[in-house]
Structures are given as structure tokens and as C-alpha cells.
Amino acid sequence: MQITVLTETDQSETRVALTPDVVKKIVNRGINVLIQSGCGQKSNYSDSQYETAGAKVTRTINESALKSEILITVKRPEDKILEKLNKNTIIIGQMDPYGSSSELNRVAKYGHQLFSMELMPRITRAQSMDVLSSQSNLSGYKAVIDSVAEYKKAVPMMMTAAGTIAPAKIFIMGVGVAGLQAIATARRLGGIVTATDVRPATKEQVVSLGAKFIAVEDEEFKAAETSAGYAKEMSKEYQQKQEELLSEHIKNQDIVITTALIPGRKAPILVTKKMVESMKDGSVIVDLATERGGNVEMSQVGKKTLHEGITILGYENFARRLPTDASNLYAQNIMKFLDEIIDVDNQQLSINYEDEIISGILIIKDGVLVHPMYK
């Protein structure tokens, strides 16, 4: 059995699908690993590290690479790769499953099996395979670090003979994995941290990290969470009340970090142009949702912008900005999933399509979109 990793075709992608440490574990299970030369360069993993781990490194996408049983990717491969692969190839990665059905139907025609890691079920057994959580954790951390780097003042309170420096006020909007890590990081740096979310269960988490919770806590708020733990879309009436509360709060903040995403939908606007313009000169806003439309009305995808003295960071996928660690965690997630589909003793694939993890992330099989969300 052979697993292949190719260089990501997206020039902005800094991560690699498998790291040398994980390759070594796979090779020790008796599985061959083929690595395209240079695929780990942006993540600080050299070809020699992969060779030491037991992988074969190839400079070209040769016939051997295209006939592997499994292709591991960070992002969905381009058509020029898909059309060359053996039709029986299993492709595992982040497949952007919420893209247009016409685009995915085009991908399906190549006949491969595609597993989309973003759809990993939120169950205990699958926690070690949850790429969204592992990457969001790093994004939340990096969002704070980058915002502080842009902020031209000290974050913690400092008392000196010359006077006292007031601590920075940092507001986190959205308390998922990224938001919780952002709160923890901002607190470690000494900021005065507040946070908001429409899910009532998050209040206790916010308080436990030493931050203050900000929200309109009415009856709708008490039922604002799905069984899967995601935020529900709130009524226009609630959104208006929440916006009024947040508008008053935001104008006094030094740093605002937005993290709100609803799977399969455009990201909700949380910070309007009017809110941005109410903030003090020198304040910083970080939008972690730009790839899905953004939470900040003024943010631009992939860019740092300045609007009336306010810096807005709209970089795509902050986890990419920590590629070594992001790749390592991603590869560990992939390794755990490989254990679910490979019978190591018999050196063959063993896929139980009735298993909730398998059925939860399988989006294409036998040329057809098979995931329930497409039906």
C-alpha cells in the first residue's frame, strides 16, 4: 500500500498534509509513503527530513505517485491532478464541501472517493481527527499575537516611576475553539478581556478563563444553540438588540477579534462600518471569517487595511501563518483517520461505510455526491 503527498497547488497555502514525524509512524506500519520534493518547504520540513523518516521523495508527479491508493492533501486538488489519478484513489483533505454543487459534481465525475475532514462529526471518538478544532486553536492564538503586533501600545498594565500604562481592552466576538484560545492568549498577555457569543453555554467558559461575558441574555438567547453545538441564526429582533449592546461596547475597545462562522453559510456581519468608525485611532480589528464573507463590514480578504485610523486584518486562514505547528496538528488528525480505514495487519483498506465517522465525512463515491447534505 502506498500513500502520496503532493505539493499544494494554492500558492498561498503554507501547510503540508503530512509531516516527517507522522510519515515515520505510517512507514513503521509497513505502508509506503511518496512525497513530492519541496512539498514541506513552506512549513520548514525538508526533503532530507522526509527521507530520514522513511519516505521516498520524487521531484515529479510520476506514474507511481498517481497510482497510490491514498492521496493526502490540505486543500482539494486541482482538476489537472484529479484527471490523472487512478479512479480508485482515496483522497483525504479539506475539500471545501460547502462549495457549489455544480463544482462538486464536476469533481465527482473523476470517480475518486473524497473524504472531507471539515465534516468530522462532533463526537468523542472523533475528537483526535477534528481538523477544524486543531487549526482554529492556532488561528485564535495567532489572531491575538498579530493584533498586538499592530497595536502600538503595551497590552498589560505597567506601573513605572514615570506613570502608569493602562491595560489594553480586548473584545472577542464568537466563543468557539478560536475564540476560547484568543481569550486565553489575551489574558496571558495581561489585557482586560471581554467576549460575546449567542450560545448560552459559552458564558461559563468565558468566565472560567477570567473574561467578562457580554450578551443580551433573553429567552431567545437561552435556546440559541443546535444539538451539534453550533450557533443558531438569531431573529432580526435579537440581532438588533445585540447590535445596540455591542455598538456601545466596541467603541471603548482597543482590539476586537471576530471568529463567528456558521457551517455552510455566509459569515454574519458583526462589526459594521459605523462601529469601526466609533473606535479610537490606533485600535485594531482582526476578522477570522474573511474566507466566508467576513464578520467585519470593512475587512478585505487576505489584506491589512487602514480605515480612519483603525487597522483591520483580514488575512485568510490564520493557521497558515503558523505553518509548522499547523501542519503538525493537521497531520496528526490525518493519522488518526488513517487508522480508521486501514487494516495494518493485512496491509489493505478496510472501510466501514456504515460507521458514523466514515459516512460523516465521505462526500463523493462512485462518481456521485453521497453526503446527506447534498440530498
Indicate which residues carry an active-site annotation.
122, 127, 130, 133, 230
For the chain, give the secondary structure using H, E and C: CEEEECCCCCCCCCCCCCCHHHHHHHHHCCCEEEEECCCCHHHCCCHHHHHHHCCEEECCCCHHHHCCCEEEEEECCCHHHHCCCCCCCEEEEECCCCCCHHHHHHHHCCCCEEEEHHHCCCCHHHHHHCHHHHHHHHHHHHHHHHHHHHCCCCCCCEEECCEEECCCEEEEECCCHHHHHHHHHHHHCCCEEEEECCCCCHHHHHHHCCCEECCCCCHHHHCCECCCCCECCCCHHHHHHHHHHHHHHHCCCCEEEECCCCCCCCCCCCECHHHHHHCCCCCEEEECCHHHCCCECCCCCCCEEEECCEEEECCCCHHHHCHHHHHHHHHHHHHHHHHHHEECCCCEECCCCCCHHHHHHEEEECCEECCHHHC
Report the C-alpha gap between 258 and 286 in whole angstroms.
Answer: 6
Q: Tell me if 32 sits within 8 A of 44, measured CB to CB.
A: no
Beta bridge partners of 36: 58
Show the CA angle centred on residue 160, arms to residues 158 and 161, nearest 5°: 165
Q: Sheet with 2-5: list strands edge to edge.
A: 56-58, 32-36, 2-5, 70-75, 90-94, 113-116, 362-365, 368-369
